[in-house]
């Protein structure tokens, strides 16, 4: 099989050249009407078991949260309920959300006990009720709950924006954490809108509330 032509595959996210996948440039900016923060909990963002770069990641998540609130976008904090003995077991310090929540009609906490924030939760109906159509997904872990929730959003016929600098994970054996995160992005295919920097994301209220 010969290498695919770059021009023919650009719309699908990239092309193969000499045995390597070459990504096309990411979107310069993107707009969304909802922000889904995935598992921004103390267990993963503080202490000895935090993901690499947790402090900087937390700052970027907080900046996204401030901009989403200011614009009137819908904000959802997904909080994982870990199994007994897990670092995110309900009621333990690690289970607590690290970013302060201002619960209102525009800001909600949604509990989950699996990777996909849509499976068996109120997330889908909440987004539908508020009229959200394009969601920013950010948080941890890249290849697990972030990826699964992005797939759940796509299956829910939502548009997904995934900023490269606002999701993270752990290294896997001898594979560095940034590589694991990048492969997780690639595995999502060409359906999400990928942006390199989260500060290029603009928020607006859901269409129903404009």
Instruction: Write the pLDDT tens digit of every residue in 64-91.
Output: 999 999 999 999 999 999 999 999 999 9
Confidence band of 3 (pLDDT split at 50, 70, 90): very low
Long-range contacts of 153-156 (CB under 8 A, 24+ apart): 153/36, 153/118, 154/191, 154/192, 155/118, 156/118, 156/124, 156/127
Asked whether residue 207 carries a pLDDT value surpassing 60, the answer given is: yes
pTM of the full structure: 0.89
CA distances from 31 to 38, 99, 127 (A): 19, 22, 16
Please report the pLDDT score of residue 11 as a whole number. Answer: 43
27-209 to CATH, choices 3.60.15.10, 3.40.50.850, 3.90.920.20, 3.40.50.1000: 3.40.50.850
Asked whether residue 172 carries a pLDDT value surpassing 50, the answer given is: yes
Catalytic residues: 145
Asked whether residue 10 carries a pLDDT value surpassing 80, the answer given is: no
Are 62 and 99 contacting, i.e. CB atoms less than 8 angstroms apart? yes
Please report the pLDDT score of residue 28 as a whole number. Answer: 77
DSSP letter (8 states) at residue 38: E
The CA distance from 202 to 60, in Å, is 14
Confidence band of 16 (pLDDT split at 50, 70, 90): confident
Confidence band of 21 (pLDDT split at 50, 70, 90): low
Mean pLDDT of 161-166: 96
Asked whether residue 38 carries a pLDDT value surpassing 80, the answer given is: yes
Q: What is the enclosing helix (H) or strand (E) of 47?
A: none
Share of the chain above pLDDT 70, in %: 88
Mean pLDDT of 188-209: 91
Please report the pLDDT score of residue 12 as a whole number. Answer: 53
Phi then psi dihedrals of residue 3, to 5 deg:
-60, 145
Counting every residue written for the chain, the total comes to: 210
Asked whether residue 111 carries a pLDDT value surpassing 80, the answer given is: yes
pLDDT in tens, 127-145: 999 999 999 999 999 999 9
């Amino acid at each position: 099989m010969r290498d695919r032509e770059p021009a023919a595959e650009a719309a699908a996210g990239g092309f193969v050249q000499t045995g390597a996948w070459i990504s096309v440039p990411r979107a310069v900016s993107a707009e969304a009407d909802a922000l889904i923060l995935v598992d921004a909990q103390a267990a993963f963002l503080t202490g000895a078991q935090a993901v690499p770069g947790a402090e900087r990641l937390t700052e970027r998540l907080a900046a996204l949260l401030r901009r989403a609130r200011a614009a009137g976008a819908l904000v959802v904090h997904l909080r994982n309920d870990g199994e007994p003995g897990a670092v995110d077991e309900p009621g333990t310090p690690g289970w607590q959300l690290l970013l302060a929540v201002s619960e209102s009609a525009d800001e909600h906490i949604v509990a989950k006990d699996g990777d996909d924030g849509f499976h068996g939760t109120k997330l889908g109906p909440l987004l539908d009720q508020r009229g959200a159509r394009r969601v920013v997904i950010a948080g941890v872990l890249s290849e697990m709950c972030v990826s699964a929730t992005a797939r759940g959003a796509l299956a829910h016929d939502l548009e997904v924006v995934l900023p490269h600098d606002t999701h993270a994970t752990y290294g896997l054996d001898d594979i560095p954490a940034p590589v694991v995160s990048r492969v997780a992005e690639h595995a999502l295919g060409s359906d999400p809108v990928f942006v390199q920097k989260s500060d290029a994301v603009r928020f607006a209220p859901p269409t129903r509330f404009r």
